[in-house]
Amino acid sequence: MNKTIMITGATSGFGRATAIKFAKNGYNIMITGRRTDRLNKLKNELIAFGKIKVLSLTFDVRNRDEVASVIMNLPEEWKTIDILVNNAGLAVGLEHIDNGFIDDWERMIDTNVKGLLYVTRAVAPLMVTRGQGHIINIGSIAGKDVYENGNVYCATKSAVDSLSKSMRIDLLKNNIKVTQIAPGMAETEFSLVRFKGDEEKAKTVYKGIEALKEEDIAEAIYYCATLPTHVCINDLVITPTAQAGVNHNYRKV
């Protein structure tokens, strides 16, 4: 029987690449995000790999009631979630703390911290009931160290770092693995979102650097998820070769 994976934020970047990687390897896939058109397109792409089922769920992870209701009302066959990838997240803005937009801060906190918690609170009991499961949280090197203007984004990812550790302790007796993957600079739609659609500004982030690709993170997620049952990768920090932490990049310009 196929295993089942739920991926939040599958309409783009790491989430999308992860859905493709697991579909190619025979997993049933639940893809989630806010953009239904993209989910539908991806669903068709995934089904074409054959022999798997795909369920597409449109919801905003910030909506506590919606998250709870969607997951509680899953068809029975989709309630056996083997792997949850808490990936949905974003950075918005890059300002000093005295100039930051409070709306941007709220969006990051609501998505990266509260959204991850809402999804986990709904899915973890299903795993506890079965006495198995694997939660993979996408943190960031921004959760390991801070950079100028990173303030609130770094704080949200630091919360993911901390939550990953405590989830692992809380779920220890339930045979549930918890892994954090903390990527460095990766060229997805991340910077486009951070700079509110400014493509030129987004491109400068990756100038002179071979950034990580979304597939690199999908490969890492797949590796962590397919180890023997007694092995749990706790924390994986992955940067491009040209990056050593949030404040050290080597650019060829």
Q: Is 224 helix (H, G, I), strand (E, B) or coil?
A: helix
Among 142, 152, 178, 181, interactor with ligand 8X3 by CB under 6 A: 142
Judged by phi (left if over 0) then psi (alpha if -120 to 50, else beta), residue 214 lies in alpha
Among 67, 141, 211, 225, interactor with ligand 8X3 by CB under 6 A: 141
Q: Does residue 246 interact with ligand 8X3 by CB under 6 A?
A: yes
Strand partners, 6: 30, 84
Task: State the minimum distance, in angstroms, from the CB of residue 90 to ligand NDP.
Answer: 5
Q: Does residue 118 interact with ligand NDP by CB under 6 A?
A: no
Is the CB of 123 or the CB of 173 nearer to ligand NDP?
Answer: 123
Q: In which order are the strands placed within the sheet that holds 133-138?
A: 54-58, 28-33, 4-7, 83-86, 133-138, 176-183, 235-238
Among 6, 14, 57, 119, interactor with ligand NDP by CB under 6 A: 14
Q: Which of residues 68-87 bind ligand NDP (CB under 6 A)?
A: 87
| CB neighbourhood size of 72 (10 A) | 11
Among 140, 158, 188, 249, interactor with ligand 8X3 by CB under 6 A: 140
Round the CA-based radius of gyration of the chain to a whole number and report it. Answer: 18
Annotation says 250 is catalytic: no
3-class SS string, 165-216? HHHHHHCHHHCEEEEEEEECCECCCHHHHHCCCCHHHHHHCCCCCCCECHHH
Task: State the minimum distance, in angstroms, from the CB of residue 45 to ligand 8X3.
Answer: 26
Which partner from the list ligand NDP, ligand 8X3, none does 243 bind, CB cut-off 5 to 8 Å by kind?
A: none
Q: 25 Cβ partners below 8 Å, 6+ apart?
A: 222
Token readout for 132 is 């198995």
Among 193, 233, 237, 242, interactor with ligand NDP by CB under 6 A: 193
**Amino acid symbol at 30:** M
How far apart CA 95 and CA 148 sit, in angstroms, is 8
Token readout for 223 is 């590796």
Is the CB of 56 or the CB of 87 nearer to ligand NDP?
Answer: 87
Q: Does residue 9 interact with ligand NDP by CB under 6 A?
A: yes
Q: Does residue 212 interact with ligand 8X3 by CB under 6 A?
A: no
Q: Does residue 160 interact with ligand 8X3 by CB under 6 A?
A: no
Pairing of strands 176-183, 235-238: parallel
**Residue given tokens 């990266």 in the structure block:** 112
Q: Does residue 185 interact with ligand 8X3 by CB under 6 A?
A: yes
Piece of the chain touching ligand NDP by CB under 6 A; list 22-30, 43-51, 187-195, 219-227: 187-195
Q: Which of 129, 223, 144 is nearest to 176 (CA)?
A: 129
Interface residue list for ligand NDP (CB under 6 A): 8-15, 33-35, 60-62, 87-90, 111, 115, 138, 140, 183, 185-186, 188-190, 193
Residues interacting with ligand 8X3, by CB under 6 A? 140-142, 150, 184-185, 246
The residues carrying an active-site annotation are 153
